[in-house]
Chain A
Amino acid sequence: MAVDFRSILSPQAMCLGVSAQSADEVIALLGERLIAMGKVKANYTAALIERERTMPTGLPLGAINVAVPHSDPVHVIAPAIALATLTEPVSFGSMDDPDEKLPVQIVVALALNDKDAQIEMLQAVAGFIQNPGALSALLSARTPEEAFAAFPS
């Protein structure tokens, strides 16, 4: 499953070493990037924030936790992902148990509108999430080139 992250993740959609106070702040940052790139509609950010309230997307992985906020396909214009790494964790609810709060340091916002066409992108993201070494390398990356090098090819 050799998906080239360069083909699904634009340097413009990467926010590396961000200092943020809350999950909403990170989501707004990523949402604005995707809106500016024309990948999602103006209400995408609000939809993500609303969804986190009822069905959060934090994934408990151990050392470095990841959240994968995403919206209903109606808010999406074209498939894309946007990524933020945080200097200090922010709190996301766990997908498994919304009452459980997880310190999250990597946030991957997904813009999806066709599950069958985007399975490779999803599997690439899922594979990456399950690779602690890659997550750790991504956290230290400060340029898009360093970030791309973190992704297993």
Chain B
Amino acid sequence: MAQQKVVLIACGTAVATSTVVAHAIEEAMAERGIPVMTRQCKATEVRSMAADADVVVATTPVPDDLGKPTFKGLPFLTGIGKAQVLDDIEKALRG
């Protein structure tokens, strides 16, 4: 059993779009055999919370120097480019 990875998901309020993204990632990574734990935060909290995360996914712009692989959350809301970003997240989590 692989070690559980932590995915930090940031959005404006930590209740709306990050919830949609969190559920989509949990489901998709479970299907790919990667156990993940998701945490949600506000965009303003992302810097302090990123230290404990393996990857960061954000629906709003976040700093690009978080030191962790960072991905766009927008594809989970629009459906456009979702498969690609899931592949990219999987790669980063396995890496």
Q: Point out residues on A near B: beta carbons under 8 Å.
A: 51, 55, 57, 59-62, 68, 70-73, 95-98, 110, 112-116, 118-119, 122-123, 126, 129-130
The verdict on A112 contacting B20 (CB below 8 Å), with A126-B77, A129-B77 known, is: no
Report Cα–Cα, A110/B74, bound state, in Å. 17
B33 interface residue, CB < 8 Å from A?
Answer: no
B12 interface residue, CB < 8 Å from A?
Answer: yes
A96 pairs with B16, CB closer than 8 A: no
A73 pairs with B15, CB closer than 8 A: yes
B43 pairs with A115, CB closer than 8 A: no
What's the least CB distance linking A120 to chain B, in Å? 10
Contact of B61 among A61, A97, A113, A118 (CB under 8 A): A97
The verdict on A96 contacting B74 (CB below 8 Å), with A122-B20, A123-B20 known, is: yes
Known: A51-B12, A96-B74, A98-B61. 8 other contacts (CB 8 A): A55-B43, A57-B12, A59-B77, A60-B78, A96-B60, A115-B40, A122-B16, A129-B79
A122 pairs with B59, CB closer than 8 A: no
23 contacts between A and B (CB under 8 A): A51-B13, A55-B60, A59-B74, A59-B77, A60-B78, A61-B80, A68-B16, A68-B17, A70-B15, A73-B13, A73-B15, A95-B59, A95-B60, A96-B60, A115-B14, A116-B19, A118-B15, A118-B19, A122-B19, A123-B23, A126-B76, A129-B77, A130-B77
List B contacts of A71 (CB < 8 A).
13
Of all chain B residues, the one with the shortest Cβ separation from A112 is: B15
What's the least CB distance linking A97 to chain B, in Å? 7
List B contacts of A60 (CB < 8 A).
74, 78, 80
Fill in one digit per residue for B52-95: 1 if any A CB lies within 8 Å of its CB, else 0: 00000001110000000000101011111000000000000000
List A contacts of B18 (CB < 8 A).
115
Of all chain A residues, the one with the shortest Cβ separation from B60 is: A55
List B contacts of A119 (CB < 8 A).
19-20, 23
List A contacts of B60 (CB < 8 A).
55, 95-96
Report Cα–Cα, A73/B23, bound state, in Å. 19
Contact of A95 among B17, B20, B40, B79 (CB under 8 A): B17
